[in-house]
Amino acid sequence: MNNVQINQQLPAALSQQQMRAAMNNQYANAMAMGDPRYSVKSGQYIRPGMSLGKGQWNQAGIDSARKMAEGVSDAYRQDLANQQYNANVGLQGQANQEGFTQALGGLQQQNNYANQMAALQRQQTAMNFATSLLGGLLN
């Protein structure tokens, strides 16, 4: 029995709007982390009974710049991963369509072969009938 699967479900691709929104959110979070006040408020530099000096503010600025750079890098990395995912979904869809087309071509070729064999069998049956009819007339 020959089967051709025509309705294979692919995972849904991400919309451009979803990808842009995710990128913007990650980018905005990275920019927020770039503020030294964010690092100071995270509690790393706060010591009970001590005020913050220039050295702690300087280190907070360095840490914030590092966090911002990593956050922006992660945002772009995630955007590229999303684009790659969409490309892979599209490629899988094309591969499925190619497989479907080849399977249908194979079925069509088998159908043509079966039709030719049936025609040959009809021709041989007609020849056998004609031979037996002529053989009966000549005897």
Q: Looking at this protein, which amino acid is placed at residue 37?
A: R
Predicted pLDDT at 76: 94
Beta-carbon neighbour count of residue 23 at 10 Å? 16
What is the pTM for the complete model shown?
0.60
* Per-residue DSSP letter, 45: S
Alpha-carbon dihedral sign for residues 79, 81, 82, 87: positive
**Tokens describing residue 130:** 């004609």
Report the distance separating Cα 43 and Cα 37, nearest Å.
10
3-state secondary structure of 1: coil
The C-alpha atoms of residue 34 and residue 137 are separated, in whole angstroms, by: 107
Q: Return the higher-pLDDT residue of 134 and 65.
A: 65
pLDDT digits 0-9 by tens, 3-39: 656 666 777 888 889 889 999 999 999 998 888 887 7
Helix (H, G, I), strand (E, B) or coil at 46: coil
35 DSSP 8-state letter: S
| 79 pLDDT above the threshold of 90 | yes
